[in-house]
Structure 1
Amino acid sequence: HRGSKSNCPENTLAAFHEAVRVHADGIELDVHLSLDNELIVIHDEKIDRTTNGKGLVKNMNAIDLRNLMLVLGSIQNLLTKKIPTLSEVLKLLTDLSFTGYLNIEIKTDKFDYLGIEKKLSDLMTETKWPFSYIYSSFNFDSLKNTQF
C-alpha cells in the first residue's frame, strides 16, 4: 500500500523499490493529474500532509511538485525523495523485474481530472508490462472510462 511506506516516504520510488526488494506480491499506488497534465503518484489531493509545501496537486505543474521535499513522519524528518510521475514508477518496476500485481488507484473521488482515464489507459496499453495491473477508484465513472 503506497509502496513500503513504513520504511520510506509513501508513493516514492524508494518505497516501491523497497516493496520489490522484500518480494511484495502486489503494490498499490495513487494517481492524480497535475496542472500540466502529468500523471503524478501521490495519495492526497493536497500536498500538505506529505511534503513541505501547501496546495492542491491539480493546481501545480509536475516540475513544481518534484521540487518539493517529502516528509516521513514529521516536518523535522524531511527527506530528499521526490514525488514521482507514473512513468517513472513504471520504469522502476520494469527495471527491477517486478512480476507481481500493480493496483493503480485513480484519485477522482474528490476532483474530476478531465482526461485522466484516457491518459492512464494510453500509457498502460502502449507497453507490455512484466507485471499485471488493475485500476481501482472510488469513482465508478473513472473505472468505466479506462481500458486494459
Structure 2
Amino acid sequence: MYTIAHRGASGNAPENTFAAFDIAAELNADFIELDVQLTKDGHIVVIHDDRVDRTTDGSGFVKDYTLKQLQSLDAGSWYGAEFKGERIPLLEEVLKRYHSKIGFLIELKGHASQVGLEKAVGQLLSKFSFSIYHIVQSFSLKSIQIFHDMYPSVPTAIIARPSFGMFSKSQLTAYKSAANYVNIKYTRLNRFLISTAHRHGLKVFAWTVRNKKTAEKLQMMAVDGIVTDFPDFISKDG
C-alpha cells in the first residue's frame, strides 16, 4: 500500500512547496501528490487554487500571472513565519529534484482556462520517463481521457465521489476506458466499493486523511494507497 503525501507533507509545511515536498521525502512517502496549472506565459506551476490569494501574498488568478510574477510571491508566510520566502515551484523543478527518489501523483486542475494542460504535462513527463513512477489524475473524466489518448503509457486516475457508496456499471466502464486508478474521498469508501473497483481492474486510493485512526481503518480495508497530510501516520507494516 502506498503512502501519498497530500500537496507534500502539508500538515507540516505550506502545501505545494519545496518545504512540504522535502519533508514528504524525509518521511519516506511513496508519492507526492501535487496540483498543476498553466501560467499566462505557458509554464506549468504547482499550485492548487485557481487564485493565488489563499496560499500567497498576492491576489488574482494564476492564469493572469507570468511565471516571473508568480515566483515573486511569498507562498510560505501564510502557514508560518519560518516559511517566509517559499515560492510557487515549477513542475519541472520538482521533477528534477525528486524524480529518482519518490513517485508523483499529479492532479490536472480542470479550470476552463487550462487549455492545453494535458499536452504540456505529458510532454514534460516524457523527459522523465526513467523516473520512479508517475500517475496523472483529475476530477474531469474528459481531461483524463484526453491525456490517456495522447500518453497511454502513463498511468492515470479519476478522482471520484461515488453516490450511495457504489458505482454504476456505466461509471466503471467509463473509468476503466481511461484510468488505472479511482481515487475516492475516504468518507465514501466501503469494502464493497473497493472490491468492486478491484474486480474491474481499478486500484483505489483514499483521500484525504488527517488522523491516525482513519488511516489504520483504511489500511484494514485493503485500499491501494492513502493520501494524507501526515505521511508518518501510515504504518509501513500495514
State TM-score, norm by structure 2.
0.57
Q: For the residues of structure 2 that align with 1:5 and 1:127, how far apart are their CA atoms? A: 25
1:11 corresponds to which letter in structure 2? N
Q: 2:105 aligns with which of 74, 93, 103?
A: 103
Which shows bigger deviation, 66-75 or 34-43?
66-75
| 1:130 to partner: Cα distance | 2.5
Q: Which runs of 5+ in 1 are unaligned?
A: none
| 1:26 to partner: Cα distance | 1.6
Map Cα deviations across residues 7-44 of structure 1 (whole Å, 9 max, x no partner).
21110112111100110112100001100000010011
- Cross-structure match for 2:22: 17
Structure number with the higher helix fraction is: 2
| Count of residues paired in the alignment | 144
Q: Is the 8 A contact 1:17 1:92 kept in 2?
A: no
1:98/1:78 CA distance change after superposition, 3 Å: closer
How many percent identity over aligned positions? Answer: 38
3-state DSSP of counterpart to 2:52: coil
3-state DSSP of counterpart to 1:145: helix
What value does the CA root-mean-square deviation take over the aligned residues?
1.8
State TM-score, norm by structure 1.
0.89
- Cross-structure match for 1:46: 51
Q: For the residues of structure 2 that align with 1:49 and 1:75, how far apart are their CA atoms? A: 13
Which shows bigger deviation, 48-57 or 8-17?
8-17
- Cross-structure match for 1:114: 115
3-state DSSP of counterpart to 1:123: helix
Which shows bigger deviation, 113-122 or 66-75?
66-75
- Cross-structure match for 1:68: 73
**Greater Rg, structure 1 or structure 2?**
2
- Cross-structure match for 1:140: 141
Q: 1:80 aligns with which of 85, 109, 113?
A: 85
Q: Is the 8 A contact 1:13 1:92 kept in 2?
A: no
Q: Is the 8 A contact 2:95 2:128 kept in 1?
A: no
1:107 corresponds to which letter in structure 2? K
